Structure 1
Amino acid sequence: MPVNSPSLLRRVTPGGWAAVAWTAGLVYSFVVLVRLPGESPDNFYRGLLLADGNQIWLALSAVASLAGCVLLRRRPLTALGLLLAGAVFGAFAMHSTAIDVPLVLGPDVALWYVAATLPRRRAVIASGMAALVLLGYPIGRVLAGFVIGTSSALAVLLTAVVAALLGNSAGESRRHAAELSENAAARAVAGERLRIARELHDMVAHSIGIVALQAGAARLVLTTQPEAARDALGQVETASRETLSGLRRMLVALRAAEDTPDGRPPLAPAPGLADLDRLARTTTAAGVAVELRWHGERRPLPPEVDLSAYRVVQESLANVVRHAGARSCQVTISCGEDSVSIEVLDGGGRRGTQPAGAGFGMLGMQERVALLHGTFAAGPRPSGGFRVAATLPVTAGAR
């Protein structure tokens, strides 16, 4: 049997359970009529025989009850009415002073199903219908001058109340679980959209900043220094191709998400601190000299820490290129036992056009660091320029 196949009990339909309950109740009702040795013959039929003519009521009970079981999933209220009618006909067949508990097992299953699956208004209608029938039988016998079984009538009514309450509780649990699932799905979608937005911004912002800077430089020296303009345009072409390639890889990963077992994009090589030398060369070629310093022992980092550290440096350099007006900057990476620290310093004087905390770049860096329970600080330096600092914890298990 496949692992994910439902069990036999789960494959039984609600109408099937109602049919099982009705059959069990009917069998019990007949069994109690059997006269055992030593029992008084006055209160029992001979064996399983009913009084003459009552077989018709029994046949009507069987037809109505089985029809209700068949219709329970498609027309629940109609099915409940048929099952209740079957219980009444069964009581007629046995000349019962009340509708006995075994005869209402089927209607109780139907009442549970209605209360668990239908809206509250229809569940209330079903409960009222059941109460009307179960109370109407003894009341009708009283009006006709017959005796009634008060305790049996109350017991039957109690089983109906319990079935309705249990069904309502099951329905509330199911609706609450569905609401939690929808909320979790919405949060997952929002988180994934935010992650994609951060990746797109961090991947594109740096390259676009270099493209803008080199294109401006090429425009200024296009007629006076053709060679310099050609080199600048070459840098523009290289940065544009790299950005386009990165965007294409991301789109391919997003389109291929449905092909993975868990629905997540397949893992692709992500940049890390090992790529900082190439990032520094690219930024230097754009006109901002990058001095890269390493402290501590360089060692492999967890992928999420490695990627976040790289993105923090990348976005910081992009801000230097676009906003600082500096000709150089200093990047320091300190690798400790339990953390990796990043510090980016520049001496530019035009950062005021992009205050700390404004724009998506600074917000993205703060979010990345916060997700890893690290610390982040960014602001003007007293001696001039700007400073970005972040510390990302590295657990021993992750290393």
Structure 2
Amino acid sequence: MSATPAPSLLKRLSPAAWMALAWCAGSALSLLFRFRLPGESQPSVWPSVLLFRWDGLLTLAAATAVTLVGCVRLERRPLPALALLLAGSALGSTPLSVAEIPLLQFLAVDVALYCVAASRPRRTAAAALAMALATPAAYLTVRLLSGWPVGTSAELTVALTAVIAWLLGRATHESRAHAAQLRAQAAAQAVTAERLRIARELHDMVAHTIGIVALQAGAARRVIDTRPELARDALGAVETASRETLSGLRRMLGALRGSAPGEVSATAPLGPSPGLADVNRLAARTTAAGVRVHVRWLGAPRPLPPEVDVSAYRIIQEAVTNVVRHAGTDSCQVTVERRGKELRIEVLDEGRPGRTGGSRGSGYGLLGMRERVSLLHGEFSARPCPGGGFRVAARLPVPEAVR
């Protein structure tokens, strides 16, 4: 339930904005270098006559328009948009009367190469790099065939910057893919760990029920001849416990069958599993820690299957823990409502607005709660409230045999 900070100004700029800024900065510097700056005896690059004529200015305006269109379309159609950017860089070099495409006119292309390599598949990124390298080569070839001078060394620098931008983009792409793979593995491990924990609790429930069955069956065998009414009560208790346990096994074993076996017997808890009867104790402990927990009980008390009882307690426990760790509030409300066919749970707080839940931390709390509810074929939701705060709600069906 951590608050999401607002992104910085640099991160809010889109790739199209970065390319447009690179083109404008490169064009401005190209024009600036053709004037004598303070401390210089002459301009670093002599301006051509075409640059100050109407046709030269018109060519620069057309190159700028073509480049800006390519910037806008790069995200949807990367290769055609890159072709427009390359055409703009070549067209914008014409009024400068230079023997090559200057590096400043190629900055927008370098930014586009980085974006394509970072966000697109390898085949698209390789095609973009080939187009970027072919454009300066074609520009020099046309000048050579026309008998004009060429700037081969300058174009090698342009090609080198294009390759560097492409490599940086591919490195970013691989880093993002690796991070996504790590997140997927962490989520899968969290699901497996949660299923194994549920399996341990189910093991405790089954062991407890089998122990009851053994005791009641032994008692019935001893008194069946002398006290048949006691034997009848004992056999009824055996039947009830067996039905409840069998119902829980049928609902959960299918989902838990695919979990990794793991070494869980040594760490399985030996005491009885917690349930809704322990919610008030949980609320008292949390209140003593500094966050008041108001528990509201709705509906008539009735017995619940052990797996539903344990899961309901774990959901409340994890939600209250998220309130303590992330909400930044001093109180929360827990509502437990027993209906005829279902059990409803709600944990509501009025903490900081804009939180996204505890699943963004290292504990995967929301993921574990969702997995528990899914295994019991229930419904789960966790989302921020419109006016601030956070709401966790779960609906767990109660089997017919227990109702």
TM-score (norm. length: structure 2): 0.58
- Taking the aligned partners of 1:143 and 1:12, their CA distance within structure 2 comes to 42
- Taking the aligned partners of 2:64 and 2:29, their CA distance within structure 1 comes to 15
C-alpha distance 263-136 of structure 1, shift in aligned 2 (>3 A):
farther
Partner of 1:35: 36
- Taking the aligned partners of 1:261 and 1:16, their CA distance within structure 2 comes to 43
- Taking the aligned partners of 2:87 and 2:147, their CA distance within structure 1 comes to 22
1:28 CA displacement:
0.6
Partner of 2:15: 14
1:94 CA displacement:
1.3
C-alpha distance 261-87 of structure 1, shift in aligned 2 (>3 A):
farther
Partner of 2:357: none
- Contact preservation (8 Å) 1:91, 1:99: yes
- Contact preservation (8 Å) 1:35, 1:46: no
1:160 CA displacement:
0.2
1:1-399 correspondence runs (5 A): 4-36=5-37, 39=41, 44-45=46-47, 50-215=52-217, 217-218=219-220, 221-222=223-224, 224-230=226-232, 232-233=234-235, 236=238, 244=304, 246-253=306-313, 259=319, 262=322
C-alpha distance 203-123 of structure 1, shift in aligned 2 (>3 A):
same
- Contact preservation (8 Å) 2:34, 2:44: no
- Contact preservation (8 Å) 2:47, 2:96: no
1:19 CA displacement:
0.9
Coordinate RMSD, CA, aligned: 3.4
C-alpha distance 92-235 of structure 1, shift in aligned 2 (>3 A):
same
Letter in 1 for 2:307: L
> Deviation per CA, 1:36-81, whole angstroms, max 9, x where unpaired?
4764589623899524421222111111111111112222222211
Partner of 1:328: none
Letter in 2 for 1:165: L
- Taking the aligned partners of 1:253 and 1:175, their CA distance within structure 2 comes to 37
- Taking the aligned partners of 2:161 and 2:206, their CA distance within structure 1 comes to 67
Gap regions ≥5 residues in structure 2: 245-274, 276-302, 325-331, 335-403
C-alpha distance 83-42 of structure 1, shift in aligned 2 (>3 A):
closer
> Deviation per CA, 1:103-158, whole angstroms, max 9, x where unpaired?
11111000001111111011111111111112111121111111011221111111
Letter in 2 for 1:10: K
TM-score (norm. length: structure 1): 0.59
Query: In terms of mean alpha carbon deviation, does 42-51 or 160-169 score higher?
Result: 42-51
- Taking the aligned partners of 1:222 and 1:15, their CA distance within structure 2 comes to 86
- Taking the aligned partners of 2:57 and 2:120, their CA distance within structure 1 comes to 35
- Contact preservation (8 Å) 1:33, 1:45: yes
- Taking the aligned partners of 2:237 and 2:20, their CA distance within structure 1 comes to 78
- Taking the aligned partners of 2:317 and 2:121, their CA distance within structure 1 comes to 37
Corresponding residue pairs, total: 265
- Taking the aligned partners of 2:240 and 2:122, their CA distance within structure 1 comes to 64
- Taking the aligned partners of 1:122 and 1:145, their CA distance within structure 2 comes to 35
Structure of larger gyration radius = 1
Letter in 2 for 1:252: A
**What fraction of aligned residue pairs are identical, expressed as a percent?**
48
- Taking the aligned partners of 1:259 and 1:48, their CA distance within structure 2 comes to 71
Letter in 1 for 2:309: R
Partner of 2:294: none
C-alpha distance 60-46 of structure 1, shift in aligned 2 (>3 A):
closer
1:25 CA displacement:
0.6
- Contact preservation (8 Å) 2:48, 2:95: no
The residue matched to 2:140 in structure 1 has which SS? helix
- Taking the aligned partners of 2:90 and 2:23, their CA distance within structure 1 comes to 13
- Taking the aligned partners of 2:97 and 2:321, their CA distance within structure 1 comes to 62
C-alpha distance 201-108 of structure 1, shift in aligned 2 (>3 A):
same
- Contact preservation (8 Å) 1:116, 1:167: yes
- Contact preservation (8 Å) 2:102, 2:158: yes
Letter in 1 for 2:135: V
Greater RCO (CA < 8 Å, at least 6 residues apart): 2
1:96 CA displacement:
1.8
- Taking the aligned partners of 2:152 and 2:64, their CA distance within structure 1 comes to 26
